[in-house]
Amino acid sequence: MRKPNWSWIGILFGVSLFIGYVIFAAGVGAFFPSINVISKPLLCSGEYSIETTSSSYRPGETFTSHRIYCDKKDITLPSVMLTGLFFSLDTFILLAILNRNSLFQPENFGVLATDLKQTKKSGGKEKSPLERMSELKEMRDRNLISDVEYERKKDEIMKEL
């Protein structure tokens, strides 16, 4: 059974929440308040209306606000939040479908690292540390490697003991 890749799922969920709330509910909803009608069936069973008010504080500047009412009761915030949730879920499903291969770890996940270690250790006839040290000294004597490389590699061999 394939294990879920929770970090990738979390990233997709966060991105979809951002897109749903900020871009659709707040951004698009500010210009097209009628998109909030999708939350009407869950929030309002009576008379539903959207009121748009424009005002100007300074010459040349216009401020527009939208209010959503159900039976003359202000339901703007719940309506925008529910609309954002709908768009977030839609976005998450779309992103999950587009990234379906990344949502799960490969079936052999976790085995890959142990296989690499075993291959490295059992990859044929391994030389003893003494043989490796003598080869290393010979390479240094022939000036194939520098003294710094020799010391570094010698330290690695000594750590394996």
pTM for this entry: 0.58
Q: Closest Cα partner for 25 from 62, 76, 70? A: 76
pLDDT tens-digit map of 61-82: 888 888 999 999 999 999 989 9
Give 104-134 pLDDT, tens digit per residue: 877 766 665 565 555 555 455 678 888 888 9
How distant, in Å, are the alpha carbons of 2, 58, 156 from that of 77? 40, 27, 64
Give the burial class of 87: count Cβ atoms within 10 A of its Cβ; 0-12 exposed, 13-18 middle, 19 or more buried: buried
CA distance 30 to 22: 11
Where in the chain are the domains? Answer: 6-98, 126-161
**Of 27, 48, 45, nearest in space to 37 by CA:** 48
